Each structure stands twice: as C-alpha cells, then as structure tokens.
C-alpha cells in the first residue's frame, strides 16, 4: 500500500479532524490547558487480532515450517529487541516507493531473525520469500487488527471537547490506510509514523514533528502509550506530559498510569 503522512494541519482546523464527533468546542481541554492528545497506535489504540506467534505458525505451516506458535512468539519478542529503529533518516530518496522498500527490508530482517531464533528457518529454505510476502501483506489487512473497545467513544468525546488528536507510532506506511479502514483516521489531525518521520520513539524528533503537524506547543500536549521507554521517556524528553497505559499487566491505580483509554477523560 502506498501512502504518505497526512499534510500538516493547524489547530484552527479542528473540525476537519473531528468529523465523527459532530462538531467541537475549542474552549474545552483535557486536564490543565491541554489542547492536544497524542496516541501510540499498536497496544494503545489497536492490537493484533491474534497473537503474532499463532499467525506466524499458521502461515508458515503452509510453507513447510514446523515452528510452534509459542516458540515464534518468544522469538519475535527477542528479535524485535535486536532490531534498529524502524526509521530511515539517511535514506537519500524520501519518495514513498523508497520508504516502502526500506520498510520491506526491515521487516524481512525481523521475520528472518524470528524464525531463526525459533529454530524454523531451516524448514523454509527457498520458500522464505513467499512466506514473508504473505506475512507482510497479512498485517496490511485491517482484518488482522482490532480496535480496543473503548477507543472510538474516548476519541469522540475528546474531539467533542475540542481536543486536537494525533497518532505518533513506531510503524510504517501501512498505518494510515489501516487506521482509515478501521474507522479511526477521521479523528486525527495527523498520523505520524517513524518510517516517514525519519525518527522513532523515544527520539524527541518524532514528537516534535507531531506537535508541528497539529500546531501546539509541547506544554499544551499529552501523550498516551504502552511503552515506558518509547512512549513515556520519549514524550517527557520532548517536554510533553505522558500517561502509561497498562492493558494486560495487573493494574494498581497510580498517577500517570491508566488501564484503558477511557480513563484519560478523568485526567
């Protein structure tokens, strides 16, 4: 899928990003003087419909792999931790086709490391390219993803309060069309992903770009995400207040931590 990041949008254009809300009231804000909320994508707004290991194992079985889902899930987490940021600041050509090619190579390396770690790469041999293509296309399909139950209602209420919304995600060119297909894109003034931004969280640059796109200062924004390092430390380094969302971990109510997105309305 070939997409580009949505063009820069100013605060005064709130109604354009809030079509699902039926209007907005620019004077209302979340918390003290917050005019914008930035969201991580995967793990915060959306999640894979099935565990990664199950999907990898099922698709790989059609190519002769005997790797098990549990082993692939563990291997994916390990491999993910060994990868460089999903950003290409030194790419000389920033055209969509060049970015997509770089993204493809990045994910191919990750998938290769995953199957190697899981002990299933030897089963694939010459079939690996076909397997990777299937996996890459699978996660470009909105059916591979689900929206967390409270997300749409929360976004609608924030939008009705006149809050400018944006996505800041370590993702690639598949993200904007995915959010469009899942019905979330109209809520956002900007969808900033690391591949196009040339910087990945926790680097402040990707947050700075999002702030520029929505036309607010760092002190006027709040960021919400599920990674203590990428989201919380990254946002704070950029001068943005942050909330950590812990959906799966045992939850003890504490300042700065929420268990579902609806709790942001109480902040």
Show Cβ contacts of residue 75 under 8 Å, excluding neighbours closer than 6 positions: 113, 114, 115, 116, 117, 118
The dotted CATH code for 11-45+148-266 is: 3.40.50.1000
| SS3 at position 149 | coil
Report DSSP state, residue 47: E
Fold held by 48-144 = DNA polymerase; domain 1 (1.10.150)
- At residue 6, what are phi and psi to the nearest 5 degrees? -55, 145
pLDDT in tens, the chain (267 residues): 333 333 332 222 333 455 454 433 333 336 658 999 999 999 999 999 999 999 999 999 999 888 999 999 999 999 999 999 999 999 887 788 899 999 999 999 999 999 999 986 666 777 999 999 999 999 999 999 999 999 999 999 999 999 999 999 999 999 999 999 999 999 999 999 999 999 999 999 999 999 999 999 999 999 999 999 999 999 999 999 999 999 986 766 778 999 999 999 986
User: Start-end ranges of CATH 3.40.50.1000 in the chain?
Assistant: 11-45+148-266
User: Start-end ranges of CATH 1.10.150.720 in the chain?
Assistant: 48-144
At 251 the pLDDT is 65
Burial class (CB in 10 A: 0-12, 13-18, 19+), 177: middle
């Amino acid at each position: 899928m070939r997409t580009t990041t949505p063009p820069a949008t100013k605060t005064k254009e709130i109604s354009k990003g809030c079509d699902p809300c039926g209007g907005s009231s620019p004077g209302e804000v979340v918390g003290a003087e917050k005019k914008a909320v930035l969201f991580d994508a995967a793990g915060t707004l959306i999640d894979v419909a099935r565990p990664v290991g199950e999907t990898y194992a099922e698709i790989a079985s059609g190519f002769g792999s005997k790797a098990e889902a549990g082993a692939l899930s563990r291997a994916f987490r390990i491999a993910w931790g060994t990868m460089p940021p999903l950003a290409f600041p030194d790419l000389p050509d920033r055209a969509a086709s060049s970015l997509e090619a770089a993204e493809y190579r990045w994910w191919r390396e990750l998938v290769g490391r995953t199957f190697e770690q899981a002990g299933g790469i030897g089963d694939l041999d010459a079939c690996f390219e076909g397997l990777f293509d299937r996996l890459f296309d699978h996660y470009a399909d909105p059916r591979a993803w689900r929206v967390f139950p409270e997300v749409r209602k929360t976004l609608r209420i924030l939008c009705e309060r006149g809050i400018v919304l944006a996505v800041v995600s370590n993702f690639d060119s598949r993200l904007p069309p995915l959010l469009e297909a899942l019905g979330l894109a109209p809520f956002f003034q900007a969808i900033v992903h690391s591949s196009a931004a040339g910087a990945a969280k926790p680097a402040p640059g990707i947050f700075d770009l999002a702030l520029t796109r929505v036309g607010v200062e760092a002190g006027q924004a709040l960021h919400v995400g599920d990674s203590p390092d990428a989201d919380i430390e990254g946002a704070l380094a950029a001068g943005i207040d942050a909330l950590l969302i812990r959906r799966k971990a045992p939850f003890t109510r504490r300042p700065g931590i929420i268990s579902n997105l609806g709790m942001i309305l109480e902040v």
